[in-house]
Amino acid sequence: MVIPYSTITKNRSFITSDQDMSSESFSIEFDDVVQRFRRIQERPDTLREVFAKIRGRRVTYLDFEALKHISFRVLKGQMIGILGRNGSGKSTLLKIAAGVYTPTSGRVRVHGSTAPLIELGAGFHHELTGRENILLNGLLLGLTKNQIREREERIIDFAELGDFIDSPIKQYSSGMYMRLAFSVATEIEPEILIVDEILGVGDAGFQRKCYGRISKFKQLGRTILFVSHDIVTVRQLCDRALLLHKGELIADGKPADVIARYEEIFSGPLAAVR
């Protein structure tokens, strides 16, 4: 069982000390960010045992850091690929950027509207239809009802869900979830698009459509954070890449250089201790 650590900072902003660029040049700024979680070390057999241990203060906790003193800045209009093995802290980093988590320590500043695509089904109500969830998600992302109605048909056309758009989304496959979520998030034209590995669940044809839209976002000067295990896509689409390993940022630079470091780590001596 994992519980977000209770010691958190409420101030998510900081003043950049970079003298070459003003803070307005950046979309996202992380300054010495730590994300710590508290995990129950024992494994009780029942929920009753959990509460009994908590009441008796006999629970042993283990604190662990999902992110360790992470600092970087993203220029407006950059597409940043984030690489690393499962458990390296990639999704945690995205959730902090999206405002889902407040970091345990350190400061984060995000300039502009965001559309996070982090977990399949996040923000969806399973009993509502796809069409109803377009309205719900649009409102959650800051649009008015009139703005959502103006975009609704474009969202439906891009998602290619056919008659399923008027079915409860609890009947959707993971690929259908992704189609709808990506269509809504990109149609609202956010200044910052945050994409986790969810594009991997779609079919090849729809993935090409998604990457085409991402390329269009780049041309419009939008900022994109993109987590993927697909190094070919990161190499082709991204302007820059970050490499996380066990919660630490160990490489930050041109995609080709970071990918080379990634391959070195996971095919060399460090692979055995990852």
Q: Residue 200 maps to which CATH number?
A: 3.40.50.300
Please check whether residue 40 lies inside any domain of the structure. yes
Task: Give Cβ neighbours of residue 226 (< 8 Å, ≥ 6 apart).
Answer: 79, 80, 81, 82, 195, 214, 234, 237, 238
Output 18 or 165, whichever has higher pLDDT.
165
Residue 12 near residue 106, CB atoms below 8 Å = no
Rounded CA gap, 251 and 241, in Å? Answer: 8
* Own/partner pairs, 37-41, CB within 8 angstroms, 24+ separation: 37/2, 37/3, 37/4, 37/5, 37/63, 37/64, 37/65, 37/66, 38/2, 38/3, 38/4, 38/5, 38/6, 38/62, 38/63, 39/1, 39/2, 39/3, 39/63, 39/64, 40/1, 40/3
For residue 188, what pLDDT is reported? 84
pLDDT surpassing 70 at residue 268: no
Helices then strands, each counted (H, E), the chain? 8, 10
Give tens-digit pLDDT for 178-235. 889 889 988 888 999 999 877 766 678 888 888 889 989 989 999 999 998 889 989 9
Give tens-digit pLDDT for 100-136. 999 999 999 999 999 888 876 667 899 999 999 999 9
pLDDT surpassing 50 at residue 4: no
Q: pLDDT class for 78, splitting at 50, 70, 90?
A: very high
Residue 233 near residue 243, CB atoms below 8 Å = no
pLDDT surpassing 80 at residue 156: yes
Rounded CA gap, 227 and 244, in Å? Answer: 11
- The DSSP-derived string for 78-129 is -EEEEE--TTSSHHHHHHHHTTSS--SEEEEEE-S-EEEE-STTTT--TTSB
**Tokens standing for residue 50:** 């959990």
pTM score of the predicted model: 0.78
Domain of residue 233, residue span: 2-112+191-273
Number of domains in the chain: 1
Q: Which of 54-58, 148-152, 203-207 has the lowest mean pLDDT?
A: 54-58
Q: What are residue 112's phi and psi, to 5 degrees? A: 120, 165
Residue 32 near residue 107, CB atoms below 8 Å = yes
Q: pLDDT class for 7, splitting at 50, 70, 90?
A: very low
Please check whether residue 15 lies inside any domain of the structure. yes
Please check whether residue 126 lies inside any domain of the structure. no
Please check whether residue 132 lies inside any domain of the structure. no
Please check whether residue 134 lies inside any domain of the structure. no
Amino acid at position 119, single letter: E
Please check whether residue 265 lies inside any domain of the structure. yes
Please check whether residue 152 lies inside any domain of the structure. no
Please check whether residue 81 lies inside any domain of the structure. yes
pLDDT surpassing 50 at residue 15: no
For residue 52, what pLDDT is reported? 63
- What DSSP designation does 261 have? H
Q: Three-class SS of residue 166?
A: helix
Could you tell me if residue 87 is left (phi over 0), alpha (psi between -120 and 50 degrees) or otherwise beta? left
